[in-house]
Amino acid sequence: MKKAVLFLFFFWAIITNGIAQKITDFEATTITGEQIKLSELKGKIVVLNFWFKACKPCIIEIPYLQKLTEKYKDKNVVFLALCTDDEETLKSFLANEKFDYKHIANARSIAQKWGVQGYPTNIVIDEKGNIVLNEKGLMIVNNAPETPQLIDKKIQELLQNK
């Protein structure tokens, strides 16, 4: 059974991560009032994080995602967090948690449009608007979430290939 699950995961990873996929555009306003239209971010690397406050795996990975924002703050990278919670809940949470993404509340319709079925979901989009990484869920490797490591590696690759 374990081998079958690993094979299916590997096959899924090849299909979703090995082939560039086009983005589904959206427009939204961040909790700070900034208008975001995803297609207008073409030319930048974009990292999307779909999450919600009651999602324990989502909360576990936040400090690791925060480190990425600090590492790439002076680079051509935009970090967007799309939270399904309402703005009040999100702002209350962020008052006690450092998470320097641009935050969009009430993002359930965007998550549905993108076909998000599990949380957290993290997506990296290259400068041309192609999805180059799509990770769902949380896997702990060496006592740390694996997805932030994969995001970091992908950002590094994209920045080196410029």
Sequence ranges of the domains in the chain:
20-160
Is the pLDDT at 157 greater than 80, yes or no?
yes
Q: How far is the C-alpha of 53 from the C-alpha of 48, rounded, in Å? A: 16
Element (H, E) at 112: helix 108-113
How much is the pLDDT for 144?
78
- Each residue of 47-76: pLDDT tens digit? 999 999 999 999 999 999 999 999 999 999
Residue 39, classed as helix, strand or coil, is helix
Confidence class of residue 145 from pLDDT cuts 50, 70 and 90? confident
pLDDT confidence of 3, banded at 50, 70, 90? very low
Identify the CATH assignment for 20-160 out of 3.40.50.300, 3.20.20.150, 3.10.20.30, 3.40.30.10: 3.40.30.10
Residue 37's pLDDT band (boundaries 50, 70, 90)? very high
Distance between CA atoms of 119 and 105, rounded to whole angstroms? 15
User: Is 50 exceeded by the pLDDT of residue 14?
Assistant: no
pLDDT digits (tens, 9 = 90+) for 89-102: 999 999 999 999 99
- pLDDT at 23 (0 to 100): 78
